[in-house]
Amino acid sequence: MIMNTDPGSSAVLSLRNIHKRFGGVVAIRDFSMDLGAGEIVALVGDNGAGKSTLVKVISGVFPPSSGSMAMDGNAVSFANSSAARRRGIEVVYQDLALANQQPVYMNLYLGRELRNPRTGLLDRRRMITESEQLVRDLDVNLPNVRARIRDMSGGQRQGVAIARATHFARKLILLDEPTAALGVAETAKVESIIDSLRARGLSILMISHSLDQVFRLADRITVLRRGQQVATRDANGTDKNEIVSMITGLH
Amino acid sequence: MNWKLFGPASVLAISLTAVVAHAETIGPQGEAATPSASVTVPDGKVAMLQGGGYKAALLWHDQSDFVNAVTAGASDEFARLGIEVVATTSAGFDAAKQRSDVETAMAKEPDIILSLPLDPVTSAAAFAEARDAGVKLVFLSNLPSDYQHPRDYAAIVTDDLFQMGKQAADALAAAMGNTGTVGWVFHDANYYVTNQRDNAFKATIENNYPDISIVAEQGISDPARAEEIANAMLLKNPDLGGIYVTWAGPAEGVLAALRAAGNTTTRIVTLDLSEPIALDMVRGGNVAAIVADEAYELGRAMAAVGARALVGEDSPPFVVAPAITVSAGTVAEGWMQSLHREAPASLLEAAN
Amino acid sequence: MNSAKVWLAEREAEKWVLYLGFLAIFAFFALTLHDDGFLSRRNLVNIVLQTAPATIMAVGLVFVLSAGEIDLSFGSIVAVSALLAAVVMREAPAVYGIAAGIGTGVAIGAINGAFVAYLRLPSFLVTLATMGLFAGIARSLTDLQSVPVLNGFFTGFFGSGSLAGIPSLILWTIVAVLVGHVILKETRFGAHVLATGDNAQAAAVAGIRVARLRLSVLAISGGCAGLAGLLYAGRLQAAKYTLGESDLMTVIAAVIVGGTALAGGRGSIIGACAGSLLMGMLNNGLILMGLSVSEQMIVRGLIILAAVAVSMREISR
């Protein structure tokens, strides 16, 4: 069904023939994909397959060597990550990118702190109120947004990182291994948060090593092997065996 | 700048830098020197002071053997006169800290302040408060700008710098039989104390010893480089009869160079007491003599000047403490006379 | 994670230990030295006057340390700024001298910052090198000569003057501490400084211009050092190459005792001010106790060690 639609016209993000080379090394070769609103796509592949590089190309950290990107049908290219952020793309990094000694609410507004328009000083009260609202909406299990990150568990930290992305993403969230460092219960909690984002109409591109997780969350799965896009499958129309054989190249 | 040098040496004395080879030590404003021995508290006034409940503060520029000996001399004299020492400070050569130290000490309302003003310009404001409060100021070596004697301060007391250089020359000449060649290692910096001493040595050799010639002159600013400098000097002048070294720190380096070269004939003379240098001298090595100041006596004289001012006795504006020549046989006495303490045990053992 | 702990953490409870220690030492001196003038108004004012330049240097250093950098060169900047201001004021009105002093500090700090921000050199090494470099410049500027400052407006404005009975040095201290505190705690710039010191990578991906920020904090430190130089010049009515030379360790100790993390991400201007006053109070009280200089150094060292141990322990808990 997806194959039949006019490629990219209604997609939140569409990638066409993306190549990324570092010197003589080809990291991504001819990658194309459309991502619709409220859709979760999982990006799977072995270490070094090019997944993180692709996330960085989409989020404006690296420019693509060739190929094109469009959002809502309009061609885009990002000079840096701030430009991508301005277009509504947020990233949750594997290493969290949180400032550990600062409170939760300052992390949620990191780099985008709210100011009192009259004094130009930080509007801590509004940041705290809105943070509490956000944490409640996403059902992140945090007792107090004024607590510092260093006093939180891994799951709570990941919750903060995802909450931040959710708050500012208008279009797309890129998740790089969102549960890699978490225990079982915390993983379940983070997965339920991700699942709830679908209802907000956000598109999600997620890198994960856990195929169980991928099948629990993703609508579609796209496989990378040594920079090559092997295939894209509906999650309902495939199984773990097929995906594993595509990842490894063994039959 | 924490060499085992004199306190005053590291202090810039702008008004004193026109270093000419005077035949005697003169004061910052050309004052003639009065020997410290003549500055004493008259016996009749001692009882008056003892009952007066007077207080003194010692606001030094730094800490060193020299400062300790001056402090001991001053404290003993104050104790004899019933004057209590209520504060002792070290400014670590920091002009701002010196100003703070004066303010802090003023909380104890001293009647006398003994101090080395770090430099004439910055100390003028630093001591103004104390001066205006009527505290008797006795200065070591330096004078704040525009301070007038005896209205603003009681006296300046310092070492007899010319005598130190001259006695070094006399001692080296005697060790060389009044003939031969000499190397002159001087302090290559704009410091009143070392400049005065170095030039007094040179002038004495040139004027009083026609058969001794200075064949090598080498400035030194970093004591750690003394050994290299001595090596170069000996390479060019292998038959040097003697070497003058500006103070004991670099003399240790010169001595190391002589030992490394197996040289047992070149004699060394230097200034300020130092255990390793004195040990070589006592063991009959290269060191011929050490010239020292009477720091303890200097401290006593400072205290006496302050006490005299309290009982209305003016003192001469510029007072100098004598220099002494210490040789192998007089180490024990020399240490006592200069620093007012026993010579290090190693020296006393080696001397016996 | 209970709310009491959050409440304590928010109010940076570790600083309370400093304040309690401060009060304890004050009480000790007040009891033992009440006959020796410690509590006299003049002596207490003196303590604040004497620490004013160090407190202002500490304000600058809090920004640098909070951003995860260090500045070892501020003491040398003090001397260069003070000397240049004094030289300018030989010929020109005070306002030029003030501009020269502060401007020099900011410019020199920005040079440090440029090496750190754009050549990506560690600030420890850059400022270790420039500490000597600037000290050498200060020495050569006037060939080791002290320069008198005779401008009465200047020496009043920065030294001996007062406004409504409050000495100008105290006013400068209050202004610097309040402005520094508001910038660090209540502005986006301050939040970015703390975030950068905490996790520079996170700050960078959050769109904070980390390089420019590093340059800024070192320029702030230079500017504070320049102001401190003016205060010294006003107080001594002269400038000298040794000004600020011996403040490095005192100021670092004051800032660390005050609850600023050496590794970045956490800073307190008010704490640094209290730390600086603590250092001044120790100097003063130990002198008034009549201790010898060596004894003063030993006791001061032990107290600083204890204070640092307590404040670091509280922070890492």
Tens of pLDDT, residues B85-110: 999 999 988 889 999 999 999 999 99
pLDDT at B330: 93
The Cα B81–Cα B77 span in angstroms is 6
In chain A, residues with a C-beta closer than 8 Å to the C-beta of C1 are: 143-144, 147, 151-152
C265–A152: do the CB atoms touch at under 8 Å? no
Task: Determine, yes or no, domain membership for B2.
Answer: no
**Can you tell me which residue has the tokens 């130009």?**
A120
pLDDT at C11: 59
pLDDT at C2: 56
**Range from A229-233, A245-249, B14-18 carrying the lowest mean pLDDT:** B14-18
Task: Provide the angle, in degrees to the nearest 10, between the axes of the packed helices C210-236 and B95-106.
Answer: 50
Tokens of C38: 């410690």
A99–C199: do the CB atoms touch at under 8 Å? yes
Residues B308, B331, single domain; the answer is no
B190–C283: do the CB atoms touch at under 8 Å? no
Report CA dihedral (B5, B11, B16, B18) to the nearest 10 degrees.
Answer: 70
Report CA dihedral (B203, B204, B210, B214) to the nearest 10 degrees.
Answer: -60
The Cα B344–Cα C3 span in angstroms is 65
Chosen for mutation from C14, C66, C185, C205 (greatest number of chain A CBs closer than 10 Å) is C205
Task: Provide the angle, in degrees to the nearest 10, between the axes of the packed helices C74-91 and C210-236.
Answer: 60
In chain A, residues with a C-beta closer than 8 Å to the C-beta of C202 are: 96-99, 110
Termini Cα distance of chain A: 27
The conformation of residue B220, written as its DSSP 8-state character, comes to: E
Closest CA to A208 of A51, A20, A15: A51
The Cα C272–Cα C262 span in angstroms is 13
The Cα C299–Cα C279 span in angstroms is 12
Residues B171, B44, single domain; the answer is no
CB under 8 Å to C255, separation ≥6 — which residues? C58, C61, C62, C65, C272, C275
The distance of A19 to chain C (nearest Cα, Å) reads 23
Residues A9 and A36: beta-carbon distance below 8 Å? no
Query: What CATH number is attached to the domain comprising A43?
Result: 3.40.50.300
Strands A40-44 and A220-225: parallel
CB under 8 Å to B162, separation ≥6 — which residues? B22, B23, B24, B25, B196, B197, B200
C287–B145: do the CB atoms touch at under 8 Å? no
pLDDT at C292: 85
- Expressed as residue numbers, the domain containing A212 is 2-248
Residues B145, B45, single domain; the answer is yes
A111–C3: do the CB atoms touch at under 8 Å? no
**Range from A71-75, B131-135, C32-36 carrying the lowest mean pLDDT:** C32-36
pLDDT at C14: 61
The Cα B13–Cα B58 span in angstroms is 20
A93–C194: do the CB atoms touch at under 8 Å? no
Residues A84 and A78: beta-carbon distance below 8 Å? yes
Residues B189, B262, single domain; the answer is yes
Q: What percent of chain B has pLDDT over 70?
A: 93
Residues B290, B303, single domain; the answer is no
pLDDT at A162: 86
pLDDT at A96: 64
Closest CA to B246 of B182, B179, B168: B168
A102–C201: do the CB atoms touch at under 8 Å? no
Residues A202 and A176: beta-carbon distance below 8 Å? no
C270 in helix, strand or coil? helix
Helix H segments across chain C?
A: 3-10, 14-32, 41-66, 74-91, 94-118, 123-141, 152-155, 168-186, 188-198, 200-205, 210-236, 247-257, 269-288, 293-316
ipTM above 0.90, yes or no: no
Note the Cα A132 to chain centre separation in Å. Answer: 22
> Hey, is the C-beta of B333 within 8 angstroms of any chain C C-beta?
no
Residues B317, B248, single domain; the answer is no
pLDDT, average across residues B316-325 = 95
In chain B, residues with a C-beta closer than 8 Å to the C-beta of C299 are: none
A111–C207: do the CB atoms touch at under 8 Å? yes
The Cα B168–Cα B161 span in angstroms is 11
pTM above 0.90, yes or no: no
Residues B277 and B302: beta-carbon distance below 8 Å? no
In chain A, residues with a C-beta closer than 8 Å to the C-beta of C182 are: 121
pLDDT at C1 over 50: no
Chosen for mutation from B104, B146, B188, B192 (greatest number of chain C CBs closer than 10 Å) is B104
B140 in helix, strand or coil? strand
Residues C159 and C102: beta-carbon distance below 8 Å? no
Residues B86, B136, single domain; the answer is yes
pLDDT at C17: 74
The Cα A106–Cα A124 span in angstroms is 9
- Expressed as residue numbers, the domain containing B176 is 161-294+326-351
Residues B149, B67, single domain; the answer is yes
pLDDT tens across C66-89, in order? Answer: 999 999 999 999 999 999 999 999
pLDDT at C304: 85
Q: Which of residues 93-132 of B touch C (CB under 8 A)?
A: 93-97, 99-101, 103-109, 118-122, 124-126
pLDDT, average across residues C279-307 = 88
Q: Which residues of C137-161 are buried (b: 16+ CB within 10 A; e: fewer)?
A: bbbebbebbbbbbebeebbebbbbb
pLDDT band, very low/low/confident/very high, at C315 (cuts 50, 70, 90): low
pLDDT at B30: 83
Tokens of B317: 């504006």
What integer best gives the mean pLDDT of chain A?
87
Task: Determine, yes or no, domain membership for B182.
Answer: yes
pLDDT at B20: 42
Residues B310, B340, single domain; the answer is no
Tokens of A104: 């939760």
C6–A85: do the CB atoms touch at under 8 Å? no
**Range from A2-11, B263-272, B323-332, C155-164 carrying the lowest mean pLDDT:** A2-11
SS3 content of chain B, % helix, strand, coil (to 5): 45, 20, 35
Closest CA to C304 of C267, C263, C258, C235: C258
The distance of A94 to chain C (nearest Cα, Å) reads 11
C266–A101: do the CB atoms touch at under 8 Å? yes
Residues A110 and A122: beta-carbon distance below 8 Å? no
Can you say whether the dihedral through the CA atoms of C139, C142, C144, C147 is positive or negative?
negative
B111 in helix, strand or coil? coil
Size of interface A-C (CB pairs under 8 A): 82
The Cα A182–Cα A139 span in angstroms is 17
pLDDT tens across B274-292, in order? Answer: 888 999 999 999 999 999 9
pLDDT band, very low/low/confident/very high, at B189 (cuts 50, 70, 90): confident
pLDDT tens across A96-105, in order? Answer: 689 999 999 9
pLDDT, average across residues C113-129 = 95
The conformation of residue B342, written as its DSSP 8-state character, comes to: P
Range picked from A218-232, C134-148, C211-225 for highest mean pLDDT: C211-225
Residues B12 and B73: beta-carbon distance below 8 Å? no
Domains in chain C (CATH in brackets) are: 13-316 (1.10.3470)
Residues B54, B152, single domain; the answer is yes
pLDDT at C5: 63
Q: How far are the Cα atoms of A65, A113, A126, A129, C206 from residue A117, in angstroms, in the given order?
A: 42, 12, 12, 17, 22
In chain C, residues with a C-beta closer than 8 Å to the C-beta of A93 are: 205
pLDDT at C13: 60
**Range from A114-128, B16-30, B106-120, B239-253 carrying the lowest mean pLDDT:** B16-30
Q: Residue A99 corresponds to which amino acid?
A: A
Regarding chains A and B, contact by 3 or more CB pairs under 8 A is answered as: no
The conformation of residue B311, written as its DSSP 8-state character, comes to: T
pLDDT, average across residues B43-60 = 93
Query: What CATH number is attached to the domain comprising B55?
Result: 3.40.50.2300
Q: Which residues pair with C147 in a beta bridge?
A: C239
What integer best gives the mean pLDDT of chain C?
89
Q: What percent of chain A has pLDDT over 70?
A: 94
pLDDT at C6: 63
Regarding chains C and A, contact by 3 or more CB pairs under 8 A is answered as: yes
Q: Residue B16 corresponds to which amino acid?
A: L
B88–C290: do the CB atoms touch at under 8 Å? yes
Termini Cα distance of chain B: 36
How many distinct structural domains can be found in chain B?
Answer: 2
Task: Provide the angle, in degrees to the nearest 10, between the axes of the packed helices C74-91 and C94-118.
Answer: 150
B108–C288: do the CB atoms touch at under 8 Å? yes
Helix (H) or strand (E) holding B258: helix B248-260
Task: Determine, yes or no, domain membership for B129.
Answer: yes
**Can you tell me which residue has the tokens 């208008």?**
A170
pLDDT band, very low/low/confident/very high, at B23 (cuts 50, 70, 90): low
The Cα B253–Cα A224 span in angstroms is 72
In chain B, residues with a C-beta closer than 8 Å to the C-beta of C146 are: 12, 14, 95, 119-122
Residues B290 and B270: beta-carbon distance below 8 Å? yes
C1–A121: do the CB atoms touch at under 8 Å? no
pLDDT at C290: 85
Q: Which residues pair with B214 in a beta bridge?
A: B182
Higher pLDDT among residues C9 and A225, named by residue? A225
Residues B8 and B197: beta-carbon distance below 8 Å? no
The Cα A236–Cα B114 span in angstroms is 94
Q: Which of residues 306-325 of B touch C (CB under 8 A)?
A: none
Question: Using CB atoms, which chains have 3+ pairs under 8 A with C?
Answer: A, B
Question: Using CB atoms, which chains have 3+ pairs under 8 A with B?
Answer: C
C187–A122: do the CB atoms touch at under 8 Å? yes
C188–A115: do the CB atoms touch at under 8 Å? yes
Can you say whether the dihedral through the CA atoms of A140, A143, A149, A153 is positive or negative?
negative
pLDDT at A1: 35
The Cα A185–Cα B248 span in angstroms is 75
Task: Determine, yes or no, domain membership for B1.
Answer: no
**Can you tell me which residue has the tokens 């507004």?**
A109
What DSSP letter does each residue of chain A carry, written as one string?
Answer: -GGGSPTTTS-SEEEEEEEEEETTEEEEEEEEEEE-TT-EEEEE--TTSSHHHHHHHHTTSS--SEEEEEETTEEE--SSHHHHHHTTEEEE-TT----TTSBHHHHHTTTS--B-TTT-SB-HHHHHHHHHHHHHHTT---S-TTSBGGGS-HHHHHHHHHHHHHHH-SSEEEEESTTTT--HHHHHHHHHHHHHHHTTT-EEEEE-S-HHHHHHH-SEEEEEETTEEEEEEEGGG--HHHHHHHHH---
pLDDT at A66: 92
The Cα B315–Cα B301 span in angstroms is 10
How many distinct structural domains can be found in chain A?
Answer: 1
Instruction: Report residue A170: phi and psi, to 5°.
Output: -100, -20
Higher pLDDT among residues A162 and B172, named by residue? B172
